[in-house]
Amino acid sequence: VNEIGESAKSEACVMTEEAELPKCIVDFILTDQYKDGWNGNYLIISYNDGTPEENLTLANGEQTKTFVKEISKGTAISVVYQKGSGQYTYPKENSFVIKYESGEIIAEKAQGSLSGTTTIGTFTIDCTPSAPQAPVLTAKAIDETSITLSWEAVTGAESYNVYQDGNSIATDLTE
């Protein structure tokens, strides 16, 4: 109650920090066939997470340039190729690749495939590596009730688990 008899309401405000989403490294590799830049043409990159829109281009005299971006996993990016307004823009000289640090390609346009303003697409960023392929097993009989299993190592696998009829019989094998 205040000095004049009014009751005051109190509201609690709790500040919490949002957990930061994992980041993905995304490379935007722009190339010009004649090494004279993109002549006013550019890529427009729009983000759905509040990151300001960006225009990426090659300056006069540049043949290739890689723009490396850290983008939060789950962010949708929209990509538009914007043809410049001048008479001599030569979009057919331009090409680009958008890819994850792992090399997996998100989008690309080859030299000669661009002619005017083009919506490339909207892509949700997810650099989670895919699971490695299962190894090919070789079984060698030891006796009537035992076998020896062997396999070639699979790229990306750190260890192996062995199952028999859906039940784990060996885990974290490295050889």
Residue 5: strand, helix, or coil: coil
Residue 91: strand, helix, or coil: helix
pTM assigned to the model = 0.67
Q: What is the CA radius of gyration of the chain?
A: 27
Cβ contacts of residue 142 below 8 Å, gap of 6+? 148
In DSSP terms, 119 is beta-bridged to 80
Tokens describing residue 95: 């090409």
Contact 92, 109 (CB under 8 A): no
Encode the chain (175 residues) as per-residue pLDDT tens digits: 555 555 554 444 444 456 677 999 999 999 999 999 999 999 999 999 999 999 999 999 999 999 999 999 999 999 999 999 988 999 999 999 999 999 999 999 999 999 999 999 999 999 987 667 778 888 898 998 888 888 888 877 788 888 888 888 888 887 7
